[in-house]
Amino acid sequence: MSLRYTLRENKITKDIPDDYVGVPYEVTMHTREDLVLGITGSGSILKPTESNAVIDAYWGQIAKWISEGEGYADEYLSVRFSIGGVFVTVDDRFDTTRHSLNVIASLKQQLLSRGLDV
């Protein structure tokens, strides 16, 4: 199956006339239940209860590390941090009214290299 998309006028690049951006549409969204059904289907030795427990443990551990200010990376996913806002002096400190803590999750090449027809 191919990713379906349409073209829409690009309103951000006003200096380039008549350019367009691709916008995906009719993208099928799967749920956790779909995931578990997919990995525990016919011929699998995996069971739904155990699979759900492993998925919960996986994401729970990543969430724990994030809450402790630690990142995570494997061959599929990278989770790291950035700090938004301006520090006005070298002695300035993080201030929630001027700064934000951002958690950035990025897909790694192992997922991206699977290929998708567009």
Tell me phi and psi for residue 53, to 5 degrees. Answer: -65, -40
pLDDT band at 20; cut points 50, 70, 90:
very high
- Domain membership of residue 39 (yes or no) is no
- Domain membership of residue 44 (yes or no) is no
Taking only the tens place, the pLDDT of each residue in 36-90 is: 999 999 999 999 999 999 999 999 999 999 999 999 999 999 999 999 999 999 9
CA distance 26 to 5: 8
Residue with token string 């567009």: 118
- Domain membership of residue 97 (yes or no) is yes
CA distance 35 to 46: 12
Helix residue ranges per DSSP H, the chain: 32-39, 48-67, 109-112
- Domain membership of residue 109 (yes or no) is yes
The predicted structure's pLDDT at residue 47: 97
Q: Give the chain's domain count.
A: 1
Is the model's pLDDT at 115 over the cut of 70? no
- Domain membership of residue 89 (yes or no) is yes
CA distance 52 to 9: 43
pLDDT band at 113; cut points 50, 70, 90:
confident
Q: Which domain holds residue 99?
A: 71-113
